[in-house]
């Protein structure tokens, strides 16, 4: 696993992420409209060369070995 970077919700994700991953992250952020996300951040790591972005609430956007992007919501 490689450590990546962190950024605040609403800011531009790292440029090394593909357009599809950025769109998935934007979709997650759109679902958060109306929720106070002040101070929430994404953490980007790389697992076997593929990005894994985790939001402070536990939501995870990842790319699997086939290139498919998934969004995993936190368990309530």
Please provide the size of the chain in residues. 76
Looking at the predicted structure, is the pLDDT value of residue 16 above 90?
Answer: yes
**What is the rounded distance in angstroms from the CA atom of residue 20 to the CA atom of residue 11?**
16
Look at residue 3 in the predicted model and tell me its pLDDT. 65
**What is the rounded distance in angstroms from the CA atom of residue 20 to the CA atom of residue 37?**
23
Looking at the predicted structure, is the pLDDT value of residue 22 above 60?
Answer: yes
Looking at the predicted structure, is the pLDDT value of residue 43 above 80?
Answer: yes
- pLDDT, mean of residues 28-44: 96
Longest alpha-carbon distance in the chain: 35
Which alpha helices (H) appear in 1-76, and where do they start and end? 19-31
Break the chain into its structural domains and give their ranges.
Answer: 2-72
**DSSP per-residue codes, 5-21:** EEEETTSPPPTTS-HHH
């Amino acid at each position: 696993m490689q450590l990546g970077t962190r950024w605040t919700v609403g800011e531009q994700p790292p440029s090394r992420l593909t357009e599809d991953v950025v769109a998935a992250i934007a979709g997650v952020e759109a679902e958060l409209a109306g929720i106070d996300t002040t101070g929430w951040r994404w953490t980007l790591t790389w697992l076997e060369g593929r990005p894994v972005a985790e939001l402070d609430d536990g939501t995870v956007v990842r790319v699997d070995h086939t290139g498919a992007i998934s969004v995993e919501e936190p368990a309530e």
